[in-house]
Amino acid sequence: MSAFSYNVNPARIVFGLGAWANVAAEVSGLGCSRALVLSTPFQAKDAEKLAAELGSMAVGIFSEAAMHTPVEVTEKAMEAYEAAGADCVIALGGGSTIGLGKAIAYRNDAPQVVIATTYAGSEVTPILGQTENGLKTTVRDAKILPEVVIYDPELTVGLPVAMSVTSGLNAMAHAVEAVYAENRNPVTTLMAVEGVRALRDALPGIVADPSNVDARSEALYGAWLCGTVLGTVGMALHHKICHTLGGTFDLPHAETHAIMLPHSAAYNAPAVAHEMQPLADLFGGSIGGGLWDFAKSLNAPLALRDLQVQHADLDRAADIATQNPYWNPRPIERQAIRELLQRAFEGSRPE
């Protein structure tokens, strides 16, 4: 056994069908009584329903959360928080809404209760990505970690199938990178492999029947595990390249992860074959090809060109993805990254 150190993120997790009914008790448990409920415009109705359930405990609703946590939206939400005399936030939604709750907490240390409705995993990380003047920066701080996370599979039944698939593959990407992370430990590896296993088993069931609550439960359980390792260990090539592509070409978050995952996994596999073996075993023995086959079977997007990336952009993407050095189990070689991008652009199956 290699030496390791392990910092556990201190959060309370409440999981189960109907768990969202506990939200008032969870707010009280934090010593709070005046919540600002957050959502995107798309989930505004759900936020209103939640606020109605909470009665006087919900002192306001702010339904303008947006992708990549724009600072101007956060500033507006801070004003709403102050005006309502709130003492905590309840974020109901996926990474965009959770990002807004984190951005508020980063500024005023507001306690956060999150009701997570996608598989992206942001709810269990102390990481906040925010954008200002078109520039995305990432901060890590203990204040950013939500205090309570409620996972209620019932609230994920409305997540459209295509989004469930890409969000699930996005979650898997955290776990794939966690098994070879420089600062991994035996417990994060257990969580990562189990998280991928759960999502591998669950996603086909969701595609077959989006209202299958057992599959929804299994997927949310997997997403929790995958998010937890994202918040605990460092990420490498896959997350860097998705960040680069997403930021430079304004690509959708989960779809970009879904397309890139088989290719980044195949790139790193030769360098960390032993670490990736438990994952390869879940996908027929080959991690890159196996993940690609799995994504294809779910009708996931496979090609960057379908996200409006132009062939002429690939050289620039390869330059940007290789210009700032970062840790990766296999050296980052410009030519090999350019070839990886070509395969991802075309949507061809990696070996």
Q: For binding to ligand NAD (CB under 6 A), which residues are involved?
A: 40, 42-43, 67-68, 93-97, 99, 117-118, 120-122, 125, 127-129, 155-156, 158-159, 163, 167, 230, 253-254
Rounded to a whole number of angstroms, the minimum distance from the CB of residue 130 to ligand NAD is: 9
- C-beta nearest to ligand NAD: residue: 95
For the bound state, the minimum distance from the C-beta of residue 126 to ligand NAD, rounded and expressed in Å, comes to 8
User: Which residues have CB under 8 Å from 154's CB, separation 6+?
Assistant: 17, 18, 20, 213, 216
The least CB distance from residue 153 to ligand NAD, in Å, is 10
State the greatest distance between any 2 C-alpha atoms of the chain, in Å, as a whole number. Answer: 60
Q: What is the DSSP string of 253-314?
A: HHHHHHHHHHHHHHHHGGGGHHHHHHHHHHTTT-HHHHHHHHHHHTT----GGGGT--GGGH
Cβ proximity to ligand NAD: between 280 and 300 the closer is 300
Comparing CB distances to ligand NAD, the nearer of 125 and 188 is: 125
What number of other Cβ atoms are within 10 A of residue 173's Cβ? 27
Nearest residue (CB) to ligand NAD, 167 versus 322: 167
| Nearest CB to ligand NAD, comparing residues 261 and 269 | 261
- Please identify, using beta-carbon distances, which residue of 120 and 259 lies nearer to ligand NAD: 120
- 47-53: which pairs have CB atoms within 8 A and are 24 or more residues apart? 47/92, 50/20, 50/23, 50/90, 50/92, 50/115, 53/21, 53/23, 53/24
What's CA 58's distance to the chain center, in Å?
27
* Min CB(233)–ligand NAD separation in Å: 13
Take residue 136 and report the two structure tokens written for it. Answer: 């995305």
Report, in Å, the least distance between residue 213 CB and ligand NAD.
13
242 or 287: CB nearest ligand NAD: 242
Sheet holding 88-93: strands in order across? 12-15, 148-151, 112-116, 88-93, 35-38, 58-62
Q: How far is the CB of 327 from ligand NAD (least distance, A)?
A: 19
